[in-house]
Structure 1
């Protein structure tokens, strides 16, 4: 039996992991698009810039849809993982590191390729975004799946899950509070309140660093417990995974409901900062 003190620090460590995880999620889901539309393409040809923004956002859409079919493979791979550090923690740590590096690169024009060689930029963008998305998804699946591995006691799992959700909410809200102060502080040109590429890259590095640090704290401060009840008795093939998903009507209804919710909440969240920058004309007030 773990002592109350060790349980408490395990909860805190796990909450630090989810804190950093939702910092990264907010960067990707809400603020990356602001960078794409306001700073990524800045040639003298505004029609070409608008066209390139359309191509990039289409690539993101296609890859996000493709992720729907990749996630079951990721989950199945994680489920079969066996290491001395556990099943989930290696994916949390590796996923955090690779995703943070990839997203930082995406928050740049890759050395001016958007102007000097747009086609090469699009190819590299699609490749790096796919790598980032896959490793972020692996971390996402692993970090939220490891709660049953932290304790065999249902009451302790409920408490741990509560700590985790509090951490994730604070992470998402903190990044909202600091995004524009950080971007504008590091920007050489405020660009009408939208910041410049230097500011957005600094924001990506800081946010990715927070996410990675949270994953490291989680890895050091938690311990996965083994139990005969959690051991897989049979190997599940990728075909079986899709079969289970498609035949589970309750899961499909939940998925559809969450899809609609996700569309609504992300549209609103993404419009918020646009409103402060381009309508109110004072991005600094967004934090308040």
Structure 2
């Protein structure tokens, strides 16, 4: 069947269409990972800005587009062009991201706090203009409970491939440029390679998406005001549960990712092996992603997330034991032990993004029934706004706290207290937050059966409105 004739309810997408949709996230991941783990050591360690100031700037940048997100989602839902609702926004986002990637990762002239603030705000804006319409586009391609897992699974596999590239390129570039070890993955050469690679991949991936994936025709809906829409959303019980998990998960992930490179270098003291661990994490994620697509269909999406989450957390809880007992007594066992933990975490890492995004598509069905308006991008944007706020809070808390305690990223003689604080920020604090988040999602109420009832109710209402319009 021709893609232009696709309608909701189509049983399955072809392999090429799944490929064409998912592959856009490759350049987004290539630049997204460095924003989380390389920008702090690059701008503080390599370029010499104050660590605490970098943390505050990253927090302000994350907040800069937080309150724009719902409006982008709302405008995208209500955009009507000959090219569709989602395409124009994605195109503009790609252009902004290409420019800001070069300016942020290939710094021009004198690098100041203001320079960092301006260009990291710009790249976050470009990311948002792509992420929200693109995510809504994927949620609307199919209304089937299981097919939505395949769509988000495709996106997650390409995301992990992009992350593998993001880990590999800095290592190769830093060695080729200066003969340095992989520990200098936040060097100028490494960051420049990521910037130029992103700028080159974005337009190629965009063309593949635009030529191969059609947007489904929007069904008739009754627009409601912004304030009324927020009230309806906040009365949505399943959405509130997702909101709680997003808050806790974003805070935990931001704190963990923001100090990961510092932890591996200063506490674990693993040198180039740390890059091997990060690579292993995402490689295992690629292997595990199809498994979680299958598990989500068998035991339910929320149970799949719970199983993956508890398995990953059980392994991650062993990190302090490795640092404070294995490392002093059996230093040669540190890397193998950390590798086992990393592989378990990596295999589980795809479950929440794959099944969580698919769950959100199901929540959109419930919201459409209650609000009367199909507003997929608005709900994606609303949750993105919340996620970004707490991601900003996480890095804005972790780095200044470390700086206040006395941790110095340019020193290899930090006190035991400073190193323990770094361990707590990397492992203990995120662990507690992730445990609560996983427990909440375990009790999520929308099952396959309930989602089928929601879709049937939506179909009946759509048919009634079609009959009324035909009679008029």
Q: TM-score, normalised by structure 2?
A: 0.50
Structure 2 distance, partners of 1:140, 1:58, is 24
Partners of 1:17 and 1:215 within 8 A in 2: yes
> Is 1:280 matched with 2:270?
yes
| CA deviation after TM superposition for structure 1 residue 36, in Å | 1.6
The equivalent of 1:218 in structure 2 is: 209
The equivalences for 1:153-168 within 5 A come to: 156-168=147-159
User: Which sections of structure 2, spanning at least 5 residues, go unmatched?
Assistant: 4-10, 281-472
Partners of 2:17 and 2:213 within 8 A in 1: yes
Higher relative contact order (CA 8 A, sep 6+): 1
| CA deviation after TM superposition for structure 1 residue 276, in Å | 4.4
The equivalent of 1:93 in structure 2 is: 91
Structure 2 distance, partners of 1:252, 1:6, is 30
Partners of 2:54 and 2:113 within 8 A in 1: yes
| CA deviation after TM superposition for structure 1 residue 152, in Å | 6.0
> Is 1:144 matched with 2:135?
yes
User: Which sections of structure 1, spanning at least 5 residues, go unmatched?
Assistant: 42-48, 115-120
| CA deviation after TM superposition for structure 1 residue 171, in Å | 2.0
The equivalent of 2:53 in structure 1 is: 55
Structure 2 distance, partners of 1:109, 1:176, is 20
| CA deviation after TM superposition for structure 1 residue 280, in Å | 2.6
Structure 1 distance, partners of 2:240, 2:145, is 26
| CA deviation after TM superposition for structure 1 residue 29, in Å | 2.1
Q: Pick from 37, 54, 57 the counterpart of residue 44 of structure 2.
A: 37
CA RMSD of superposed structures (Å): 3.2
Partners of 2:20 and 2:209 within 8 A in 1: yes
Q: Which moved more, 1:60-69 or 1:152-161?
A: 152-161
Structure 1 distance, partners of 2:228, 2:88, is 25
The equivalent of 1:45 in structure 2 is: none
Q: Pick from 222, 233, 251 the counterpart of residue 233 of structure 1.
A: 222
The equivalent of 1:128 in structure 2 is: 119
Partners of 1:11 and 1:160 within 8 A in 2: yes
Partners of 2:30 and 2:163 within 8 A in 1: yes
SS in 1 for 2:81: coil
| CA deviation after TM superposition for structure 1 residue 12, in Å | 0.9
| CA deviation after TM superposition for structure 1 residue 222, in Å | 0.9
The equivalences for 1:201-212 within 5 A come to: 201-212=192-203
Structure 1 distance, partners of 2:15, 2:156, is 15
Q: Measured at CA, do residues 154 and 27 of structure 1 come closer, stay the same or move farther in structure 2, by a change above 3 Å?
A: same
Q: Which moved more, 1:182-191 or 1:197-206?
A: 182-191
Q: TM-score, normalised by structure 1?
A: 0.77
> Is 1:16 matched with 2:26?
no
Partners of 2:27 and 2:201 within 8 A in 1: yes
SS in 2 for 1:68: coil
Partners of 2:170 and 2:189 within 8 A in 1: no
Structure 2 distance, partners of 1:156, 1:246, is 27
| Structure ID, larger Rg | 2
